[in-house]
């Protein structure tokens, strides 16, 4: 019996006799046929696509917003900077020496020196107290070093360590890090990131269910066709294929509509945000979905559609047997 079974599959198994390009050709045909099927029922296809699109647009939009907030925080890198107020007796020369020493510190990106003289000059111009200052016989202002840590050292813990280290310099009278703000900001973005991940998972699951349910109905509608195909010797793989493509198309089109929704929303937000940024003298601009994010969105949505239909097909195809 074993022999005859082997002979059977050797004689009529299609794989062995098909060349690769024929196989690809066939997949292309099935893919296009299932696309054609979607187009022939435009209304219901469109609705399914939009539902998937909305489910995906929400996390995609929030992800984008989060990315924008982080860019914005990049503009506020000053928040993670350390201010070193030098002792009164430190001369401008000593301040410059300290500056160049710190400049070589690997934890530090950049140091900006505002010498006592410069500070006084600035104060004179901006405050309008020029007369008062002139009456003083000594410059009351200290030199100020603004230290900007490198990216790794801008995080709360290493930034604090850096602060402690800088404080030990003999020239330093007083060192200050606006840590509270940095901490809060990091905590908030972490929560937001987590939130987006949770939301994306839930809505991804809903996409899975939407596609699964749509494909289940499709299988029911094509009950007769599936039964007859089984009757004339269609393998499960053959019968499964159009439904899998169907799910993948739904996912892809859902992803595209999500992209459109997010892009249109950003366009609508662009003007008011520009005005707001203008009020804060910031050159901030909303950034849209980049190419790699778009690829990720479309790839992910296609995979979700494929997985959803895979589940539906696996569950319902075996229930249909010819009689």
Token couple for 275:
């005005």
The residue range among 7-15, 47-55, 171-179, 210-218 that interacts with another protein, by the rule CB under 8 A, is 7-15
323 binds another protein (CB under 8 A): yes
28 binds another protein (CB under 8 A): no
9 binds another protein (CB under 8 A): yes
The residue assigned the tokens 């030199």 is 143
CB of 9 to another protein, least distance (A): 6
CB 223 within 8 A of CB 320: yes
Q: Which of 156, 234, 288, 300 binds another protein (CB under 8 A)?
A: 234
Token couple for 179:
């840590």
322 binds another protein (CB under 8 A): yes
Q: Which of 85, 123, 185, 238 binds another protein (CB under 8 A)?
A: 238
Angle of the 42-75 helix axis to the 291-316 helix axis, nearest 10:
140
Q: Which of 47, 197, 231, 264 binds another protein (CB under 8 A)?
A: 231
Kindly identify the residues of this chain, within the stretch 207-226, that bind another protein according to CB under 8 A.
224-225
Measured from the CB atom, the residue of 167 and 230 that comes closer to another protein is: 230
Q: Which of 97, 127, 235, 282 binds another protein (CB under 8 A)?
A: 235
Element (H, E) at 109: strand 108-114
44 binds another protein (CB under 8 A): no
CB 150 within 8 A of CB 109: yes
The residue range among 8-16, 185-193, 269-277, 301-309 that interacts with another protein, by the rule CB under 8 A, is 8-16
Interacting residues of 171 by C-beta distance below 8 A, sequence separation 6+: 86, 87, 90, 94, 95, 98
CB of 46 to another protein, least distance (A): 22
CB of 244 to another protein, least distance (A): 17
The residue range among 12-20, 128-136, 165-173, 197-205 that interacts with another protein, by the rule CB under 8 A, is 12-20
Token couple for 136:
């003083």
8 binds another protein (CB under 8 A): yes
Measured CA to CA in angstroms, residue 286 lies from 13, 159, 272, 296 at distances of 56, 29, 11, 20
CB 251 within 8 A of CB 301: yes
CB atoms near residue 208 (< 10 Å): 22
Longest CA pairwise span in the chain (Å): 114
What does the binding site for another protein look like in residue numbers (CB under 8 A)?
1, 4-5, 8-9, 12-14, 17-18, 22, 26, 224-225, 227-236, 238, 321-323
């Amino acid at each position: 019996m074993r022999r005859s079974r082997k002979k059977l599959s050797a004689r009529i198994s299609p794989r062995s006799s098909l060349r690769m390009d024929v196989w690809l050709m066939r997949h292309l045909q099935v893919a296009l046929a299932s696309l054609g099927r979607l187009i022939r029922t435009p209304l219901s296809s469109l609705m399914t696509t939009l539902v998937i699109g909305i489910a995906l647009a929400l996390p995609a939009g929030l992800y984008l917003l989060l990315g924008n907030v982080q860019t914005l925080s990049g503009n506020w890198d000053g928040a993670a900077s350390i201010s070193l107020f030098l002792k009164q007796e430190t001369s401008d020369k000593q301040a410059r020496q300290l500056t160049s020493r710190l400049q070589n510190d690997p934890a530090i990106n950049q140091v900006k020196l505002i010498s006592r003289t410069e500070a006084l000059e600035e104060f004179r111009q901006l405050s309008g107290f020029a007369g008062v200052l002139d009456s003083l016989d000594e410059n009351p202002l200290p030199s100020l070093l603004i230290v900007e840590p490198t990216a790794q050292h801008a995080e709360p813990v290493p930034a604090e360590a850096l602060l402690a280290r800088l404080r030990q310099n003999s020239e330093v009278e007083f060192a200050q890090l606006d840590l509270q703000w940095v901490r809060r900001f990091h905590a908030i973005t972490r929560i937001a990131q987590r939130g987006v991940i949770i939301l994306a998972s839930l809505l991804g699951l809903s996409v899975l269910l939407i596609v699964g349910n749509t494909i289940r109905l499709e299988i029911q509608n094509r009950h007769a066709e599936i039964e007859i195909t089984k009757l004339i010797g269609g393998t499960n793989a053959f019968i499964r294929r159009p439904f899998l493509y169907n799910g993948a198309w739904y996912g892809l089109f859902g992803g595209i509509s999500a992209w459109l929704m997010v892009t249109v929303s950003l366009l609508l937000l662009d003007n008011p945000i520009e005005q707001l940024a203008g009020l804060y003298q910031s050159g901030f601009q909303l950034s849209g979905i980049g190419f790699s994010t778009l690829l990720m969105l479309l790839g992910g949505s296609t995979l979700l559609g494929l997985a959803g239909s895979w589940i539906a097909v696996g569950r319902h195809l075996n229930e249909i047997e010819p009689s």
